[in-house]
Amino acid sequence: MKQSLLKYLVAASLMACSAVSQAGVIFSDDFDASAGGLNVVPTGWTVTDGTVDVVGGGFCLAGQCVDLDGSTRDAGVLSRTFTLMGGVEYVLSFDLSGNQRGGTDDVLVTFGSATRLFDDLASGSPYTGYSLSFTPGSDGEYTLSFANAGGDNIGAVLENVVITALDGDPGEVPEPASVALAGLGLAALYLTRRRRATLNS
């Protein structure tokens, strides 16, 4: 009986601690690990409905970045899917600049059910850091996407995509790890008392 109880409490504490491990940066990509080139899909991403380019040099803050309108006169939708936990607030941050060769661009960013439209990004506009928050209603897979409107082979430029999971308000609910440690302490106390009672009888 006591072995079963101990195993149960250890398993519960590990599950609680895994929930806490969602806090902090869960994804980061500066596109430097991707192969560069025209009409190239960045490593780990998906491109549908057209193409994007992975470029370097003066277009980027450093290393490589993504031109969201590839070289086929058909801007692609750059996307990636993540497994997220319900009730946890996730913050997407990224750097976005206007194209560097003339005209303006519209970019629709979608993160789960949250969306933000960046319209009329002027050519030559500098990189600016943006963020978008999303809290899933339940555990599951959710998609992040960047869609550049247009098809003139000259798109807005994307760099430094990061997703961070935020901790909940510690004043509302105890941290799962604290609950797990308290549970383990109570289990140890229970087992110690049972053992003493068995030895004294």
For the segment 111-154, what is each residue's pLDDT rounded down to a tens digit? 999 999 999 888 888 999 999 999 999 999 999 999 999 778 88
In the predicted model, what is the mean pLDDT of residues 37-54? 96
The tokens describing 177, both together, are 């790890």
Q: Which of 26-30, 143-147, 153-157 has the lowest mean pLDDT?
A: 153-157
On the question of pLDDT at 7 being above 90, the answer is no
Distance separating alpha carbons of residues 184 and 201, to the nearest angstrom: 26
Q: What radius of gyration, in Å, describes the C-alpha atoms of the chain?
A: 24
Q: For domain 24-166, which architecture applies? A: Sandwich (2.60)
Which residue in 193, 154, 161 sits closest to 61, CA to CA? Answer: 161
Distance separating alpha carbons of residues 191 and 165, to the nearest angstrom: 37
Select the highest-mean-pLDDT range: 81-85, 172-176, 177-181: 81-85
On the question of pLDDT at 15 being above 50, the answer is no
* 3-state helix/strand/coil string of the chain: CHHHHHHHHHHHHHHHHHHHCCCEEEEEECCCCCCCECCCCCCCCEEECCECEEEEHHHCCCCEEEECCCCCCCECEEEEEEEECCCCCEEEEEEEECCCCCCEEEEEEEECCEEEEEEEEECCCCCEEEEEEECCCCCEEEEEEEEECCCCCCCCEEEEEEEEECCCCCCCCCCHHHHHHHHHHHHHHHHHHHHHHHHHC
On the question of pLDDT at 87 being above 50, the answer is yes
Would you state the pLDDT for residue 157?
A: 95
List the chain domain ranges. 1-23+171-201, 24-166
On the question of pLDDT at 64 being above 50, the answer is yes
Distance separating alpha carbons of residues 67 and 70, to the nearest angstrom: 6
